[in-house]
Amino acid sequence: MDLQDQLKNLFPDHVPSNEPEETEETAHELFVQKEPMICKFEKRKGKVTTIIEGYEGNDEDFKILAKEIKTKLSVGGSFKDGAIIIQGDYRDKIMKILQEKGFKTKRVGG
């Protein structure tokens, strides 16, 4: 007995529809600010990190941006206290990604 037969036995009155459900996915719009975002280099406990600060929009938008950056660069990182912390020195790549999205960036340190 396949799955369709089992479902017919469980729900004899159900009439399946052949039309696929239409769901519209809208891309999330990030708030693009006028002030530049600060992209700086730090060493924490001997490890090299890149820190991005200065976003004026929602924390949720900043978290989405952090996840996107981490995915594109295939690196680890976190979001803490209004800052994105990326493992490693990726300032140039991060600044390029942010500028493609329409953000202004400022390089700080080193």
Taking 70 as the threshold, does the pLDDT of residue 19 lie above it? no
Measuring CA to CA, which residue among 95, 91, 97 is closest to residue 105?
Answer: 95
Two tokens at 104? Answer: 């202004």
Helix, strand, or coil here: 17?
coil
Taking every pair of Cα atoms in the chain, the longest distance, rounded to a whole number of angstroms, is 70
pTM: 0.67
The percent of residues in the chain predicted with pLDDT above 90, rounded, is 20
What's the mean per-residue pLDDT of the chain?
A: 83
Residues 84/71, Cβ–Cβ less than 8 Å: no
List, for residues 39-73, the tens digit of each pLDDT value: 998 888 889 999 999 888 788 888 888 899 999 99
